[in-house]
Amino acid sequence: MKLSGLFQSSKPLVTALYILLVTIGPTSAGDVDPSPSTTIIDILSASPEYSILLHYLQKHGLVNLINQSRNSTLLAPVNSAFYQLEEDGATVTKDLLLYHFLNGTVVSDNVTSDVVLQSHLSKRLYEAWDDDEDEHDREGEEELKDGIPVVISPDSSHDSDDDGIGLKVNGQATVVELDQMAGYHRGVVQGVDSLLSIPPTLCEVIEAKSRKHSFFSELFSLEYNCDSSRKKQTKLRKNLVTLLVPNDNAFDKFIDVEKDYLLSASAKADREILINRHTIDHLLKPQAIQTSIEPRHRSERSSGEMTAVTADGTVLKFDRDYIINSTFNPDEVNILTRDGIIYTYDSLLSTRQDASSKVVEFNPEKYLHGLGADLFVEETYLRGLQSLIDGTETEPQSIFVYPIGTSETNSHPNIKYHIVKGANALEDLDTRGTYLLTSKLSSHRMGDYYQKIKAIVSSEGTISLNSQLVLTSDYNVGNTSIYLLEGDLDVPPSLAFALGPFFQSSFSVAFLESTGLISPPKNDPPRTYLVPSRRAWENQILLKLYLQSNHTALRAVFESLIFETPVYSNEKPRVVESLDGTKSKLSVFSGGEGRHNGPYIARVNNTSYDIDAEDILFNSGVAHSIDQLSIPKHVEVSPHDLIIAGDRKDFVDLLKARNMSHILDRNESYTILVPNMDQLADNGYYANSSKTDRLLSLHILPDNPINTLFAGEAIPTLDEDVQLSGRNVTENFHILSIVDGTGQETYVVSRGDAQNHEFGKHSTVLFLDRYISPDWVHTPLIRPPYRLKTHVAILIGAALGLILAATSIVTCLYAFVGTRKATDPENDEHRPLLRDRTTSPSGRSTRSARSNRSRRDSNNGASDVDGTSPNSTSNNFYSTISSNSSINPIATGHVNEHREFGRHLNLPSP
């Protein structure tokens, strides 16, 4: 029923009641001393301000409940409090009215601090009504342990009289009619100016305060399914609770991985521990801290203290200011919820025993859950290795994991390979280089040896383990350090897979497979393999071809490079035995400035190998890729073997035909240059031709100068007058030419080194793309010891004599002709009429004047069309006078006319 209708229908009744009350006595219940029989309903009936409330109490059948109750307080909304409901379109429910009816008597004189009372609205039944269950079981209950609480506080801003202090309810309603007392033990009415709201649930309040208490809010929400609908939420305890909520600052002592764990599905038990530490299983009423009779002023209160026990059994002592154990200070107090009351604090609650702890104890297992490595933990338990992560392991260790979660199908069959002996395993890896870590994995293939993990530190400082990048620094818990990887840490595979394409060892892998040496027998100890790289084979193509054709020799070569003990880099040298039974001192070490920087070198006794890739880990040991081939002592390879393997047998036949086959003997030491045999016959080099001898001598270099051949030095051949020189264009491209020859070149196609350990000598065979022709030899005029031959000296002397004689004759003729021409009288005709003013002391004209005269004479007799000479005398003369410069001679063919012109000017005659 709307309030307007209510007022219209009850108006006659209210008017009559009002007239009756005025006639009988005063309208204010506070002005009348109540009789023992006066009930709360009587007080409401005595005042027209409660007429609407009376109507709703009658409507919902609550009159008898109120009349029969003892020591109760009714927070009675005055009529004006209901007006807002009409505007909001809300209704007055039975629940709402029950929430205004409190168990316990509240008188303003005794309220000097917050008072918490429980209402007659049962949390349990209220929630049952929400679920549409039977609501009739509610009536008849006088004392409720789960009545939804109400907080009444002193309100100093609103005085009801000169000395009294007003009251505030739930911080939202003000008491406007104070202390309207009913009969003895029947209760009191406190008239309020507005209707109260039923508080929200704990979940709703916690979420609403999540800005300052976000982490605890998340924990609480996970534990009680606060994100779900009310019906799906985990029910709190049946009775009311007091929740002591720590704010976010209280969790500062937790690192990220610990917080992530507490929010994970695996942390349910620890979340419960933490929440129970901060939960009291009853409603904490602050008035219980105070004495039974309180003075009016706060400063006069005597000290009080109350003891409470949390759900996990921790004893807490509260003082009147809600300080716990004289240590933990509150932020906010008496925050109402439907399920109880909330106090907030700035720290976690701990006891003296765990004052320095985080309430929850952490171990490696919990850290792994926090890092998302749930599957790793599951596998650890599945294989019975939980002692490695549950905190009972006594030895320091480091764990490397890839957080793939429980939804992945991948597993970790080798849990121990992810665990390394010693905590902070990466702490000392601070310089660029390669390092080896010892895992806890010891398979039957490794015998008594533990499998290694290869760590590489880049120049930028990043660290990778078996090519997996380390993403985080270590998380330390107890004696364990945990690191996150970019990918999963796989156990080293077989040797064939370990070498793979990355180390360019395909030739060696194929040969090891063909000889049955690629994988050691299961019961054999782990091994060290020195594996020739692809470059090593390409530098010895002829030797490779020979070994391919000789399976016994090939197997012998690899047996000398396989040792029955794993030897890793930067370990002390070890005496090891190879598969061929030879005992050797083996070491692998860095040849660079730093111990871990490389390049690395493998040394077997006194033989050193440059390493292309060190510490290639596989399931039965370790391999090192070397860049050169080595032939064991009991295997002999002759130049003849290499030439035949390279399919140039014709060269061997040619040497035999020319009685030079001793070159191929094993006890000789030569560099043998084998040309392309297809070209020799085409150019007349036959087995029976004597000129073939010189060609062969150009292809034989004594004393095997292979180490200096391509360094640009002059290397002698069997032809004493011819030397060869080589150079490296690239690492695998070499060129040869004749020193001081015609400039022709040939390049090396392939190479092979012969071995003869008995004589301590060896030859090298080089295949060329074409032959070195004697025609490439340039014969100089002067040869060492640089003395001229007789006929050459005579010719040079004659030529020089002729040159000197011709030079003398020409000089004499020039001198004679030049003198005669200077004294010829006919030349007077060309003498200048005017001397150059710039003359020598002897009166002769300068050279420049003579040259000008000759130029002008060359123009003599030439004239323009109009008859005027292009070098007019008068014009030249006047221009000379005007410029006050030297006068050039006048060139003319009529000498007399010019002399007359000179006399006309009064110039001296020449």
User: Contact at 8 Å (CB) between 691 and 774?
Assistant: yes
Residue 730 pLDDT class (50, 70, 90 cuts): confident
Q: Which of 532-546, 659-673, 785-799 has the lowest mean pLDDT?
A: 785-799
Q: Which CATH superfamily includes the segment(s) 374-484?
A: FAS1 domain (2.30.180.10)
Which CATH superfamily hosts domain 202-289+304-345? FAS1 domain (2.30.180.10)
Is there a contact between 196 and 95 (Cβ–Cβ < 8 Å)? no
Banded model confidence at residue 716, pLDDT cuts 50, 70, 90: very high
Q: Are 848 and 871 a contacting pair, CB within 8 Å?
A: no
The number of CA neighbours under 13 Å toward the Cβ of 226 is 19
Residue 839 in this model has a pLDDT that exceeds 70: no
Sheet containing strand 340-345, strands side by side: 279-280, 241-246, 340-345, 330-337
- Least confident piece of the model among 235-239, 532-536, 653-657, 858-862: 858-862
- Has residue 205 got a pLDDT over 90? no
Where, residue-wise, is CATH 2.30.180.10 in the chain? 40-124+144-192, 202-289+304-345, 374-484, 522-626, 639-776
Superfamily, domain 40-124+144-192: FAS1 domain (2.30.180.10)
**Average pLDDT of the chain?**
79
Closest CA to 160 of 187, 190, 186, 182: 190
The CATH-assigned architecture of domain 639-776 is: Roll (2.30)
Q: Does residue 132 have a pLDDT over 70?
A: no
Residue 883 has pLDDT above 50, yes or no: no
Two structure tokens written together for 754: 């012969």
Looking at residue 146, what is its pLDDT? Answer: 77
Residue 798: both structure tokens together:
């004659």
Q: How deeply is 417 buried, as exposed, middle or buried, from its count of CB atoms within 10 A (0-12, 13-18, 19+)? A: buried
* Cβ atoms 891, 857 nearer than 8 A: yes
pLDDT of residue 11: 39
pLDDT tens per residue across span 514-566 = 999 998 887 888 999 999 999 999 999 999 999 999 999 999 999 999 999 99
Which class does domain 522-626 fall in?
mainly beta
